[in-house]
């Protein structure tokens, strides 16, 4: 298998419109809805397609109740069938069955919903994340949705050790990717959360998942709308590690911004306009 990257497509696989634009986005009314996205990547490799995260899937669109009443009420996902990764692949002329590998930053409900639409793909993730999702504690039961893996995905767990990349340790290489797709552990939001680095020309694109939520957090000086800061603190499993990782990412952007472009899952500002 050779999935050396050729082209990278940016997909929004889920729009969410929570109320509170002023606190969540920094401008607008207190109760005005804002717009968050689920930024996924589709990578054309030499032998197949690789997806980084899957957003919401067709079963979420058909059965929104499976996402839970709290999530639906507060986060207000739009759930359009045409936004699913599978539909967007078809719209671009690809066959979803050609997706050989999926790398998930983590298994939160807004990142794993598309997994059932790609039942034959290998699903790569950190072992800590899979264990947390399959055996959630009381606090984690609303973030992980068992329906998203009821089809029995072909999990491929990646464990510790690994390489170093720009000072980040424990880095795993996606097998067969020619060392061009890397899992960069960024725990804190969830226990096994990972970023995914994709080589692009002379540099790298680093999908940071939910390691941070607003582009200002990795700028110098850092900034973040207060509502988004509170949301991240409420949804973290390890605040110390989460804040450490945000700081490491800010330093990475400051020192190596010419070589590494960072993006995060939910900030529409880091999603290319055409997506
Ligand atoms: Zn998320």
- Residue 15's CATH number: 3.60.15.10
pTM equals 0.95
Given 3-state DSSP classes, what are the helix, strand and coil percentages for the chain, each rounded to the nearest 5?
A: 35, 25, 40
Which is higher by pLDDT, 6 or 95?
A: 95
At 201, is the pLDDT very low, low, confident or very high (cuts 50, 70, 90)? confident
- CB atoms within 5 A of ion ligand 1 belong to 108, 110, 210
Cα 72 to ligand 1 centroid, rounded to whole Å? 14
Q: Phi and psi (nearest 5°) for 195?
A: -85, 165
In this predicted structure, which of 164-178, 210-224, 249-263 has the lowest mean pLDDT? 164-178
In a domain, 1, yes or no: no
Asked whether residue 86 carries a pLDDT value surpassing 90, the answer given is: yes
How confident is the model over 70-85, as a mean pLDDT? 97
Q: How far is CA 205 from CA 19, 52, 55, 136, in A?
A: 31, 12, 19, 31
Cα 168 to ligand 1 centroid, rounded to whole Å? 22
Residue 189 sits in which domain range?
7-270
User: Model confidence over 12-27: pLDDT tens digits?
Assistant: 999 999 999 999 998 8
pLDDT of residue 256: 97
In a domain, 275, yes or no: no
Using the structure block, give the residue that is written with the tokens 């729009």: 15
Cα 264 to ligand 1 centroid, rounded to whole Å? 9
In a domain, 154, yes or no: yes
Bridge partners, residue 168, by sequence? 165
Cα 237 to ligand 1 centroid, rounded to whole Å? 14
Cα 210 to ligand 1 centroid, rounded to whole Å? 5
In a domain, 166, yes or no: yes
In a domain, 136, yes or no: yes
Cα 209 to ligand 1 centroid, rounded to whole Å? 7
Cα 130 to ligand 1 centroid, rounded to whole Å? 16
Cα 66 to ligand 1 centroid, rounded to whole Å? 16
In a domain, 32, yes or no: yes
In a domain, 2, yes or no: no
Cα 111 to ligand 1 centroid, rounded to whole Å? 6
How confident is the model over 87-95, as a mean pLDDT? 97
Query: Based on the structure, what is the number of domains in the chain?
Result: 1
pLDDT of residue 129: 98
Q: How far apart are CA 41 and CA 205, in angstroms?
A: 10
Helices (H), the chain: 21-25, 58-62, 69-75, 85-91, 109-112, 127-134, 226-234, 239-256
């Amino acid at each position: 298998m050779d999935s050396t990257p050729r082209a990278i497509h940016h997909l929004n696989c889920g729009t969410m419109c929570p109320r509170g634009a002023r606190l969540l986005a920094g401008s607008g009314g207190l109760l005005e809805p804002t717009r968050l996205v689920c930024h996924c990547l589709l990578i054309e490799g030499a032998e197949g397609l690789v997806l980084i995260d899957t957003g919401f899937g067709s079963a979420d669109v058909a059965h929104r109740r499976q996402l839970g009443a709290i999530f639906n009420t507060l986060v207000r996902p739009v759930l359009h069938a045409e936004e699913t990764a599978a539909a967007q692949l078809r719209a671009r002329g690809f066959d979803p069955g050609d997706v050989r590998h999926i790398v998930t930053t983590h298994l939160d409900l807004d990142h794993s919903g598309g997994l059932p639409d790609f039942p034959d793909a290998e699903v790569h993730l950190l072992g800590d994340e899979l264990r947390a999702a399959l055996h959630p504690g009381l606090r984690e039961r609303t973030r992980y949705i068992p329906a998203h893996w009821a089809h029995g995905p072909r999990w491929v767990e990646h464990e510790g050790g690994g390489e170093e990349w720009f000072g980040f340790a424990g880095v795993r290489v996606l097998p067969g990717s020619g060392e061009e797709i890397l899992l960069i552990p960024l725990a804190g939001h969830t226990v096994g959360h990972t970023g995914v680095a994709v080589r692009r020309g002379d540099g790298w694109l680093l999908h940071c998942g939910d390691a941070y939520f607003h582009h200002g957090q990795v700028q110098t000086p850092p900034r973040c709308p207060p509502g988004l800061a509170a949301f991240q603190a409420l949804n973290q499993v390890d605040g110390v590690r989460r804040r450490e990782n945000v700081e490491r990412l800010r330093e990475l952007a400051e020192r190596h911004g010419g070589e590494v472009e960072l993006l995060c899952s939910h900030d529409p500002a880091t999603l290319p306009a055409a997506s």
